[in-house]
A and B are shown apart, each in its own frame.
Chain A
């Protein structure tokens, strides 16, 4: 059973790739968002970036919580979009279109993460 903690199916690889992508976004958000905040701009990107780093990191470790964190960030982004752009469709495009595509992938990864997460205690027990 020890090999189970290593990704070996396509779903596992895809989930790991998604997690890495989210970590990259998180890094860009934290870096750019921190700079933006230092210039007096919106704190959204820095805060969201930290959540994305946590989300991607947890997902890479096979933790379901990572996916839930992303979906939480997505939901918060929806609220933030309404706050900043109202219901102007053009304002929704940059804020929500890409993140929604990723959110769909995250939802698709839920079964994989659920399986990875349930085997984790067994793996731990074996250590």
Chain B
């Protein structure tokens, strides 16, 4: 399910003296879960209901964070006719949606910045969101935020869901809305990828809440405020808020959360949510829901195990539990009346024997849901019966595919953590004939109770965003000793290539790892040149199923257990997988002594692909060793080693790619023709966010949230850093 990122430490090494490398001392304890943490007091409510799922049990206090009344349901015919939204046809200088426009292609038609002048780019201003770990709070921060820009204003959210409007030319705060999200509501990560700009269909221009800023929060609220003033829109829900825990049944704060901007399609706002990985088989539902964007009233639900019931559950009933959740940004399609939902796994990611056929049909898929009915129109699955956490983290991108015969098909570009990129017909969900999908045999399970799919889908024509399967000789280190250690780890594991299934008797190597391939940074696509920009990871994981007894010994408990220890089993690592026979141990495939990855570099790449010829135009490592090294020590070296990365890119008409993402804490501009860096700057925190670009008063700006990422071990900051050419520099417009 959720997976931002990983891995610190990868890197560099030989620069350390050989004797240091040889003097490795075994760590006193390499098992997880000894760290003490704060949090958790909120999880202590309700002991005695952990023998199994109790879906009818009441939600713990604080789950309905704002104590909102239940929202009522209306029919689709009662939803007011939608007016055109600004992201359908954005002004040239704007960036009104998460991926700039409703096609979510991360392409800007601005061309003031070019490979020739971008070297003069300087900081124009820095804006502080004010959200970072407080005293005594464990660092769970990774803002991952991309502002949107409409008119002369930026609109964004902080990692803890405060919303703000900022002067796009000066960085001055115009208003701020305090969302009041509490620390205990942070699931694995405090993140808010962005807000949605919504134009009302009923409130006339000039009145409050004609234009609105909407967000989905970590504590499961949908909030709308007036774009002009930041005041709550009273006509939406209850005082501008809707409680999305309604109908979810038993839960605790932090179990279910939302981090992506909800899309509005033909007047329906669609919401998905993350369910914390690895907790229990009967975790809260992954239900997808549609609400009237105007009033906040419920319209439909898509509940995987109750596919024919699109209504809200009656009192005492709940959406089906443990179903695949969707945490990535969704893509809307007004023309076809669809929302493209990237789904993840059923709960308990690494054990599939308890999943229903209905779940198996829609997990780790793109599901196109009709926004009038909540009924799926088509499903395309990217990994069958997933036990590798190959949930889809990327937002799909809409584009028009021009066939050789001159016809055009509305298409969908679907990146995956596997590094397979699927190109689908948006109307049917079928792969385009130019991008066939082949079912290839996949390894069988060694767990007799949990068979695997005999085949898995491969997009054979689109360049694969991954290196070949690992070999023993790909093992790495600073010295022959740590290379030998990694070779032993490699040989001790079961590994028969991609889709090696998890097992009880030995570890398995999962490669590509759950950080991708392509993760939530998604892809950028230039519709004029047909060039796709993709950044991706090469970070294998080392997994093993463990018995319940062993899981208990490791202290692995689900989040709703009173003795839950967040450090013992979070979304990214070891998990209790309660209600199943097995827990799961997951670590990066790394050297426990040095904290360096076991496979050789590069660990992160960026490449340009021509969608017409399906050729890779250039491919290069992304990120230097300057902030990484053994034992997590910065080496300061400018070596272009290619680090793990999280966050996407922007492609501009000016011929530039802007990307941060890497763990070297830099933002860089790349010349799209050559793939070479033409500018870079060191950020005040990790740049694990998607950058964006816009223009105000004839000046082009580039913005990046340098929020850092706890899992990537990059420094946290609350700074949005915005760049522009100095006034004296060459500006074409």
Contacts and interface: CB of A to CB of B under 8 A. Distances in A.
Contacts of B229: none
Nearest to B602: A90
B485 A32 contact: yes
Interface string A70-109: 0000000000000011001011011101110110000000
A85 B600 CA distance: 11
B480 A101 contact: no
A68 interface: no
B481 interface: yes
A50 interface: no
A32 B478 contact: no
B483 A39 contact: no
Chain A interface SS verdict (over half): helix
Interface in B388-429: none
B404 to A, nearest CB: 38
A102 B480 CA distance: 12
B472 interface: yes
Nearest to A41: B491
Nearest to B493: A39
Contacts of B601: 90
Contacts of B491: 36, 39-41
A41 B471 CA distance: 10
A35 to B, nearest CB: 6
Interface string B702-729: 0000000000000000000000000000
A41 B487 contact: yes
A20 interface: no
Interface residues of B, number: 27
Contact of B476 (A21, A29, A33, A94): A94
Contacts of A32: 481, 484-485, 488
Interface string B460-496: 0000000000001100111111111101101110000
Interface string A41-53: 1100100000000
B473 A99 contact: no
B488 A98 contact: no
Interface residues of A, number: 27
Contact of B21 (A39, A42, A45, A98): A98
A12 to B, nearest CB: 20
Interface stretch (B10-18, B47-55, B179-187, B190-198): B10-18
B29 interface: no
Contacts of A95: 480, 483
Contacts of A21: 19, 22
A97 B479 contact: yes
Nearest to B22: A25
A29 B473 contact: no
A24 B22 CA distance: 9
A102 B18 CA distance: 8
Nearest to B481: A28
B14 A94 contact: yes
Contacts of A90: 476, 600-601, 641
B473 to A, nearest CB: 4
B316 to A, nearest CB: 56
B484 A97 contact: no
A29 B479 contact: no
Contact of B477 (A39, A42, A94, A101): A94
Interface string B1-30: 000000000000110011101100000000
B480 A35 contact: no
Given A93-B13, A93-B14, A39 B488 contact: yes
Nearest to B14: A97
A99 B479 CA distance: 8
Chain B, interface SS category: helix
A102 B19 CA distance: 9
Given A85-B473, A94-B479, A98-B22, A33 B484 contact: yes
B479 A98 contact: yes
Nearest to A92: B14
Contacts of A84: 473
Contacts of A36: 484, 487-488, 491
A46 to B, nearest CB: 10
B473 A97 contact: no
A97 B18 CA distance: 8
Contact of A41 (B18, B488, B600, B641): B488
A91 B600 contact: yes
A91 to B, nearest CB: 6
A72 B306 CA distance: 71
B488 A94 contact: no
A29 B479 CA distance: 12
Nearest to B18: A98
Given A91-B600, A93-B478, A98-B22, A45 B484 contact: yes
Interface in A14-64: 21, 24-25, 28-29, 32-33, 35-36, 39-42, 45
Which residue, B483, B484, B487, B491, has most C-beta atoms of chain A within 10 A?
B484
B492 A39 contact: yes
Nearest to A48: B480
A48 to B, nearest CB: 8
B487 A98 contact: no
A95 B492 CA distance: 21
B478 A94 contact: yes
Nearest to B484: A32
Contacts of B476: 90-91, 93-94
Given A25-B22, A91-B600, A41 B472 contact: yes
Contacts of B492: 39
Contact of B480 (A40, A88, A91, A98): A98
A98 B472 contact: no
A22 to B, nearest CB: 11
Best-buried of A32, A45, A93, A95 by chain B (most CB within 10 Å): A93
Contacts of B473: 42, 84-85, 91
Interface in B503-546: none
B14 A42 contact: no
Nearest to A97: B14
Which residue, of B21, B477, B488, has the highest number of chain A Cβ atoms within 10 A?
B488
A121 B582 CA distance: 68
A25 B683 CA distance: 42
Given A35-B488, A36-B491, A41-B491, A99 B480 contact: yes
Interface string B318-351: 0000000000000000000000000000000000
Contacts of A35: 488
Contacts of A102: 18
A40 B472 CA distance: 10
Nearest to A91: B600
B484 A98 contact: no
A41 B488 CA distance: 8
Nearest to B488: A36
A98 B485 contact: no
B393 to A, nearest CB: 27
Given A21-B19, A25-B22, A98-B22, A45 B480 contact: yes
Given A39-B491, A84-B473, A94 B22 contact: no
15 contacts: A25-B22, A25-B480, A25-B481, A28-B481, A32-B481, A41-B488, A42-B487, A84-B473, A93-B478, A94-B476, A94-B477, A94-B483, A98-B14, A98-B480, A99-B18
Given A29-B484, A94-B477, A94-B480, 18 more contacts: A21-B19, A24-B22, A25-B480, A28-B484, A36-B484, A36-B487, A36-B491, A84-B473, A85-B473, A90-B476, A90-B641, A91-B473, A91-B476, A93-B478, A95-B480, A97-B14, A97-B478, A102-B18
User: 8 shortest A-B CB distances, which residue pairs?
Assistant: A98-B18, A97-B14, A39-B491, A94-B483, A98-B479, A93-B14, A84-B473, A94-B477
Interface of B: 13-14, 17-19, 21-22, 472-473, 476-485, 487-488, 490-492, 600-601, 641
